[in-house]
Amino acid sequence: MNLQAHADDLLRLVARTERLESFPRSGWVVCGVQGPESVAAHVYETTLIAMWLADRVEENVDTERVLRIALLHDIGETLLTDLPWPVKKFIGKDAIADGEARAVDEVLADAPQGWREAVSAYEDADTLEARIVKAADRIQMLAKSLQYRAQGRGDVQRFWEGTRNFEDYGIPLVRAVLDRLREHWDNDDWYPADYD
Residues 43-84 have pLDDT tens digits of 999 999 999 999 999 999 999 999 999 999 999 999 988 888
CA 133 – CA 54 distance, rounded (Å): 9
Residues 94-119 have pLDDT tens digits of 998 899 999 999 999 999 999 999 99
Q: Is 1 helix (H, G, I), strand (E, B) or coil?
A: coil
* DSSP per residue, 122-135: HHH--SHHHHHHHH
pLDDT of residue 103: 94
- Burial class from Cβ neighbours inside 10 Å (0-12, 13-18, 19+) for residue 84 reads middle
CA 132 – CA 70 distance, rounded (Å): 9
CA 57 – CA 55 distance, rounded (Å): 6
Give the class (CATH, top level) of 3-186.
Answer: mainly alpha
